[in-house]
Amino acid sequence: MDEHLFNGDYYEHEIRPPKSESDIAKGLRHESMGARSVTDPDLQLGAGCLVDQLVGQYQAHVCGLGHLLDKQHVRRTLQSIKRYNFKRGLHGHFNQMRSFVLNDESAVLMATYPKGRRPKRPFPYYNEVMTGFEYTAAVHMLYEGMTRDGLELIAAIRERYDGRKRSPFDEAECGHHYARAMASWAAVLALTGFRYSGVEQSLEFAGALKPSRWFWSNGYAWGTCEQEPTRGVVNVKLAVLHGALRVRQVCIHGLGQVAWGRPRNITAGHTLSFTVKKSQP
């Protein structure tokens, strides 16, 4: 992708159709679906700047896999998505499809064509706005340290679904209560560095720069993590508000970790307090 698809601003979709219909096995084609001409397919992205073109890299960060693409290319691409696709006001925007954003509201468009070369018949909803895709770009910005940009995109979504103009519990896309908006949860992970391993019975958090209280949830329980940083030391209070937590170690990124020979069991209403020092591994 870095070698062949990055155009200096973002990653392009390179369309490589077959030379003839006979190059495609008959069983792979559907008589009433797909491109009208396989040698000149329509409904493609092409040279567009797509809102979620980095969805694989975003997912890799969520899963703790780190960078799969060139870091500079990734950051440049996110900057391009913000520059080309984020619109502060949609009064002059033409959208031939569904309208999930109107008038003076701000949003991130599905795709734009800042370098031209838009296909004659591009994929039909390129002019639309859908929050599930917006969250993907916004959260990825948070992971890449573009915190102000990411929060600006999220704030624009929440302003549209503020309970007055639209339901805050129903960010519709293909239907009501559409699941893709649940990508918003990843913002909690990106901002707090939270990760839980049921195999290792371990918790991870980012190191707080000032006294902080963060929410966490691992599927079995949920609660809060309070950090009070001082010089080279952070005092931590891990509280369980519902369920039960079994933990062997806690890692505070940029500082160190604590581990116990036997797992600690914390039940609802109880707190585990400990100190993480810089000298610890």
Per-residue model confidence as pLDDT tens digits over 48-99:
999 999 999 999 999 999 999 999 999 999 999 999 999 999 998 999 999 9
The pTM assigned to this predicted structure is: 0.91
Q: What is the pLDDT of residues 222-252, one digit of tens each?
A: 999 999 998 889 999 999 999 999 999 999 9
User: CB–CB of 70/98 below 8 Å?
Assistant: no
Kindly indicate the confidence band of residue 279, based on its pLDDT and cuts at 50, 70 and 90. Answer: low
Six-digit token pair at 231? 């010089």
Domain ranges of the chain: 21-189, 193-277
Over residues 4-31, the mean pLDDT reads: 90
- Percentage of the chain beyond pLDDT 90 is 84
Q: Comparing C-alpha atoms, which of 256, 255, 258 is closest to residue 247?
A: 258
- Three-state SS string across 162-194, please? CCCCCCCCCCCCCCCCCHHHHHHHHHHHHHHCC
Task: Report the 10 Å Cβ neighbour count for 186.
Answer: 20
Q: What is the pLDDT of residue 259?
A: 94
Say which residue the tokens 């508000």 belong to.
Answer: 241
Strands 233-253 and 202-206: parallel
Q: What is the pLDDT of residue 232?
A: 80
User: How many secondary structure helices (H) and strands (E) does the chain include?
Assistant: 5, 11
Q: What is the pLDDT of residue 245?
A: 95
Tell me the C-alpha distance between 86 and 200, whole Å.
Answer: 41
Tell me the C-alpha distance between 74 and 181, whole Å.
Answer: 23
Average of per-residue pLDDT values in the chain:
93
Q: What is the pLDDT of residue 33?
A: 76
Say if residue 189's pLDDT is above 90. Answer: yes
E-state strands within the chain:
49-50, 86-88, 106-108, 111-112, 195-197, 202-206, 212-217, 221-229, 233-253, 256-267, 270-277
